[in-house]
Chains A and B, each alone.
Chain A
Amino acid sequence: MLFAVSGAAIDTLFAGAYNLAQFLGWEWGRYRHPSGAPRFTVTWAVLLVLAVALVLTGVDPVQLTEYAVISSAVALPLTYIPILLVANDRSYMREYVNGRRANILGLIYLVVIGVVSIAAVPLLILTNVGQN
């Protein structure tokens, strides 16, 4: 249990730091060591402190996780569309750039994600967070 929770915590902290650093163009990555990527390091450390503070408020962690998962479902298109765009960018993907078939499948999946994203909050309310 401890290792599962610790692994998830490390994963989440680093995901947050990677997102911010890559969005803003900072140096990032564990391979750079803390002195080589200071803002990346400070970001995950600050996120750790914030996460601990959040847990110490006494909030129900299971309920918090449920809301977090639903929020991530709402935000899914925002993470999926950039990936689809990059998959179509030849300067990044070179010979692996998306073809017509991959794009058709990708767009079908985008529609599915869109439906999930739109339905998430109404379902949350209608089912009383899955309690009904």
Chain B
Amino acid sequence: MSGAFNIGLALLDRQLLDSEGRRCGKVDDVALEGAPGGPLEIVAILSGSAVLRRRAPIAGRLASLFGGDGRVRVPWDEVVEFGAHVKLRKTASEYGLGRGDDRLKTFIAKIPGKDR
């Protein structure tokens, strides 16, 4: 995936979808590489409340309150497509994404009608 685009408009805060279409976080930041004066290249997507907190302290704290203090780095090669959302190659659990939902699943499993 190559070409120049505006990271702030086209990538940041977009919904992450895993290979099964599960929503598993947002693009909270990106890791860039490049020499001074040269073009920058995205090498990874960063997601999680610890990442968000650097950009938006209040929202980041809110996120860590509900979803734990996570920080996940997904290599850019794992991005299959991006537009309205960012689609990843593997499942969320393989990247360590969506752990907040996974933790609560055991609690929800005890509730009658959990699959209705």
Residue positions of A touching B, CB distance < 8 A: 20, 23-28, 33-35, 37-39, 41-43, 89, 91-92
Contact = CB atoms under 8 A, between A and B. Distances in A.
The B contact surface, by secondary structure, is mixed
29 contacts: A20-B66, A25-B15, A25-B23, A25-B24, A25-B26, A26-B23, A26-B67, A26-B101, A27-B22, A27-B23, A33-B115, A34-B108, A34-B113, A34-B114, A35-B109, A35-B114, A37-B101, A38-B101, A38-B104, A38-B105, A38-B107, A39-B67, A39-B100, A42-B104, A43-B66, A89-B9, A91-B10, A91-B83, A91-B84
B12 to A, nearest CB: 12
Contacts of B26: 24-25
Given A24-B66, A24-B67, A34 B24 contact: no
Contacts of B10: 91
B1 interface: no
The range of chain B's interface size is: 20 to 34
A24 B63 CA distance: 7
A92 B85 CA distance: 9
A113 B113 CA distance: 42
B108 A92 contact: no
B104 to A, nearest CB: 4
B68 to A, nearest CB: 11
